[in-house]
Amino acid sequence: MFMTERREPRFFRFSSTAVRWSLMASGVLLLVLTLWVARYIYLESEVRNLAGVKQMQEQFEALKQDLSDEIEKFQALQEKVRKLENQLKGKSYAPSREDAETQNFPVLKGAPFSPDGMEDVLQAYKLFTSRRGELESQYNALNEEVAQRLSLLEYVPSIPPTSTLSISSGFGYRRNPMNGRIDFHPGLDIRGDPLDLVRATASGTVTFAGWKGGYGRTVVIDHGNGFVTWFAHNYSLLVQAGERVKKGQAIARIGSSGYTTGPHLHYEVHYGEKIIDPRIVLNVNVFTVKSILSRVRR
């Protein structure tokens, strides 16, 4: 009974030392473990950070590539716009100094992955977007100009009145085939087979369709802008006075009515009080229409 009573406290004393040691040991172990875990977490987050940085760098390079591609497209468009702009002005195209500056975007290619490099790319991007904005408004202005010229052209007698334009007698002074005398020929005589179609050379309103003395069966079209066209010696007429006609629309068939030696179309172009050589406005296009019209108006 005593022995057991004695033993128990001894066992307790011994065990208390062991417990302290083991507690200390496990404390150290815990500390080491904690440090390991902390280090592991830290390293893992470092690895994740590095992956993040790598991803950012890849995004940065992709952004530079996208911007370079956009700039390339922009430059191709810029060249087209400049060419069109110059063609509309009747000038030939030469790259301007401003364009040459835009060609460079020098910072872009070499920009390193760094705050400075990012700043450079940002600057290049801002420059690019402002240039693109300018180009867009130039492009829109050109589009408007072309649209305006096309609507102008619609009422300028610019297409041949027959499918083939074979001229037997030109505009101006000539020996009259009917009487051999020198006289003024106010139009073009265009060869054609009888019944070939005659077409309106511009849109407008038919002001006369009928017999007109030596002109025979004649169509007169008023184009509403100073231009009036005459088509004479027809075999038959396909339109009536007051009718609206479109450019290219068939208006008559070639014949030899009136004062003529044989089947042909006599074609006149009037501008205001003047009668002009139809060839002045023949084949005029969107690029030349403005300068040719100012020539006609003089």
Q: What residues line the site for Zn ion (CB under 5 A)?
A: 189, 266
Q: Work out how close the CB of 174 gets to Zn ion at its nearest, in angstroms, rounded to a whole number.
A: 9
Look up residue 291 and give its amino acid: S
Minimum CB–partner distance for residue 169 and Zn ion (Å): 6
Min dist. Cβ of residue 261 to Zn ion (A): 10
Question: How far, in Å, are 37, 73, 155 from residue 203 at the CA level?
Answer: 88, 39, 5
Residue closer to Zn ion by CB (options 162, 288) is 162
CB of 262 vs Zn ion, minimal distance in Å: 12
Identify whether the C-beta of residue 108 lies closer than 8 Å to the C-beta of residue 124. Answer: yes
Concatenate the DSSP letters of all residues of the chain into one string. -HHHHHHHHHHHHHHHHHHHHHHHHHHHHHHHHHHHHHHHHHHHHHHHHHHHHHHHHHHHHHHHHHHHHHHHHHHHHHHHHHHHHHHHHT------HHHHHHHH-HHHHH--SSHHHHHHHHHHHHHHHHHHHHHHHHHHHHHHHHHHHHHHHTTS--S-SSSS--EEE-SEEEE-TTT--EEEE-SEEEE--TT-EEE-SS-EEEEEEEE-GGG-EEEEEE-SSSEEEEEEEEEEE---TT-EE-TT-EEEEE---SS-SSSEEEEEEEETTEEE-GGGTTT--TTTHHHHHHHHH-
Taking the complex as a whole, the smallest distance from the CB of residue 269 to Zn ion amounts, in Å, to 13
Cα–Cα distance between 46 and 69 in angstroms, integer?
34
CB-nearer residue toward Zn ion: 247 or 266: 266
Identify which of residues 98 and 183 has a Cβ nearer to Zn ion in the complex: 183
Nearer to Zn ion, 174 or 290 (CB): 174
CB-nearer residue toward Zn ion: 246 or 279: 279
Which amino acid does the sequence have at 151?
Answer: S
Find how far residue 77's CA is from the centre of its chain: 7
Q: Which two tokens stand for residue 272?
A: 């205001």
Closest CB to Zn ion among residues 75, 168: 168
Q: How far is the CB of 260 from Zn ion (least distance, A)?
A: 8
Residue of closest CB approach to Zn ion? 266
Residue closer to Zn ion by CB (options 1, 182) is 182
- In whole angstroms, how close is the CB of 232 to Zn ion at the nearest point? 7
CB of 254 to Zn ion, least distance (A): 13
Would you say 189 or 196 has its CB closer to Zn ion?
A: 189
